[in-house]
Amino acid sequence: MIETWALRRTSADKATVGAGQPRTAWQSFALTAVMATVVGLSGCSSTPKEDPNSQANLEKLYAEAKEDMISGSYDRAIKSLERIEGRAAGTTLGQQAQLDLAWANYKSGERVQAVTVLDRFIKLNPSSPALDYALYMKGLVNFNDDLGLFGRIARQDISERDQQAARDSMQAFKQLVEQFPESKYSEDGRVRIDYITNSLAAYEVHVARYYFNRGAYLAAANRAQAALLEFQNAPALEEGLFIMAKSYDKLGLEQLRSDAERVLKASFPDSAYLAGGPKAKDKAWWQVW
């Protein structure tokens, strides 16, 4: 545009001054001034570039992300929320985007990524009013990862299954109830702590049974004893004490066998294991949760 305008102005100058007549210094200065003015006006008349970091644009982007989450388009929502988290860092909107990002990752099956986002939120926002919710969500993400395992613990071989997710879940719930005892999420957190405790105890006893059935009696006794020390009052410890007594009996350790039987009788006086061995129960402990 500027180049075309300059060519037209040169032709007009020639017509005014006369063919072959040189311009005066004033005419050259005037031409330069006019061109500069036009360039300035051209710049002023252009539309200003929209700021992607403006509050209005960020709120619009967040609204779109929420719509994607509602419709189940979590992958698209994740991309929008990641942009908001980066552009609105340190703001209330940025914190909300982090929490929604964690949830979207969890719903899309990315549990590890969801926990990573929550850990980042907890680290960067220790005084946030939403910290209790972040801890609750972290516990819930890990809890649901092993919920299927807990629900089938009596019917599948889990002796080699990693229990770290369950332990991480319990740790998050414990931090929640200790730091925020009055939080609306703490009551549910306490229930889940008990459930996870019982589940982990059942897992340890299952492993002890696994060793006992294969003739590894010392390993069976040690694993059952570890469950007894770490998870007191868990329902699965009834079988754990029985396995300890039977293992010590197989090893010829009569005193240890008697000690285990005495604790079993004192703790579970109506135990079916005292009548001669394990018997199938109508319901597993987890079915009444």
Could you read off the pLDDT of 93-107 as tens digits, one per residue? 999 999 999 999 999
pLDDT tens across the length of the chain (289 residues): 333 333 333 344 444 334 444 444 434 434 444 444 444 444 454 555 666 667 778 889 999 999 999 999 999 999 999 999 888 888 999 999 999 999 999 999 999 999 999 999 999 999 999 999 999 999 999 887 654 444 444 444 444 455 888 899 999 999 999 999 999 999 999 999 999 999 899 999 999 999 999 999 999 999 999 999 999 889 999 999 999 999 999 999 999 999 999 999 999 998 888 876 554 344 443 333 3
Same-domain status, 190 and 282: yes
Same-domain status, 174 and 276: yes
3-state SS of the chain: helix, strand, coil percent to 5? Answer: 75, 0, 25
Amino acid 156: pLDDT? 45
- 109 domain residue, yes or no: yes
- 36 domain residue, yes or no: no
- 89 domain residue, yes or no: yes
Amino acid 57: pLDDT? 84
Q: Identify the domain containing residue 239 by its residue range.
A: 168-288
| pLDDT, tens digit (0-9, with 9 covering 90-100), for 47-65 | 556 666 677 788 899 999 9
Same-domain status, 102 and 186: no
Same-domain status, 177 and 117: no
Q: Write down the residue that tokens 């609750």 correspond to.
A: 136
| pLDDT, tens digit (0-9, with 9 covering 90-100), for 237-249 | 999 999 999 999 9
Amino acid 89: pLDDT? 84
Total structural domains in the chain?
2
Same-domain status, 247 and 176: yes
Amino acid 210: pLDDT? 93
Q: Which residues contact 183 (CB under 8 A, 6 or more apart)?
A: 132, 136, 176
| For the chain, counts of helices (H) and of strands (E) | 13, 0
Same-domain status, 180 and 284: yes
Number of C-beta neighbours around residue 209 at 10 A: 19
Q: Which of 234, 268, 261 is nearest to 247 (CA)?
A: 261
Amino acid 216: pLDDT? 96
